[in-house]
Amino acid sequence: MVEAKRDENVLISIVMNIVLPSLVLTKGTPYFGADRALALAIALPIGYFAWDYYTRRETSLMSLLGFASVLASGALGMFRATGLWFAVKEALLPSVLGIATLMSLSWRKPLINAFIYSDMIFHKDRIEQALHEKGTGERFLELLKTVNLIVAASFVLSAVLNFSLAMWLIKSEPGTEAFNSELGKMNALSFPVIALPSMLILALGLFKLSKGLQKLTGLTSAELMKSK
């Protein structure tokens, strides 16, 4: 019998990726020193990423992107980069994702399949069969384009908020207690200031896609979407 895959524990993920690193940077620097506190704050999410992959034997696109972001922050901190470089780094990833999302509708596997219209959320075989039977395939492609713009907008918003937050907070010289404290505050504020608004826009995209599919396929929400 194949063992069912476990979902990631969201609470543990938030603690290891946001709460503990922020506490180490804001409160631990006087005890560990600036460089050691920064190294520990970077090691926590990297260690969690490795442990989570080892125990669940899978990872997600967003998890990989977060892992890359942590490594980039660590490299910038160790090389004494200024706040502007942190702001550019924070804005770069969502900017690239936003552009790629807009371009990907012409790809064989558009990125919207990873973010919203995925096999984990929708019964795609059932949907495609209903679209074929009702002859609404072309209208479905138009719906995907609209939702794709909503998803891209969430990344644009994230890029603007990321850049603004980093420029507002990171003012001190790298390698100092004040710098680590600012970095910790930026990490702590990233979820309520950046992630929540972006998630709300993605939720809007999911809602619009679900309602549009109900009209195009004649299926109910329960028939369209998978439940745990």
Instruction: Report if residue 189 sits inside a domain.
Output: yes
Backbone angles phi, psi at 225, to 5 degrees: -105, 145
Backbone angles phi, psi at 122, to 5 degrees: -115, 150
Instruction: Report if residue 4 sits inside a domain.
Output: no
Handedness of CA 76, 79, 83, 88 (dihedral sign): negative
The parent domain of residue 136 ranges over 10-224
Instruction: Report if residue 2 sits inside a domain.
Output: no
Q: Is the pLDDT of residue 121 over 60?
A: yes
Q: Is the pLDDT of residue 158 over 50?
A: yes
Domain tally, the chain: 1
Instruction: Report if residue 3 sits inside a domain.
Output: no
CA distance 156 to 145: 16
Model pLDDT, residue 66: 61
Over the stretch 91-110, which tens digit does the pLDDT of each residue have?
Answer: 887 888 888 888 887 777 77
Instruction: Report if residue 82 sits inside a domain.
Output: yes
Q: Is the pLDDT of residue 130 over 90?
A: yes
Chain position carrying tokens 């690239």: 96
CA distance 38 to 97: 27
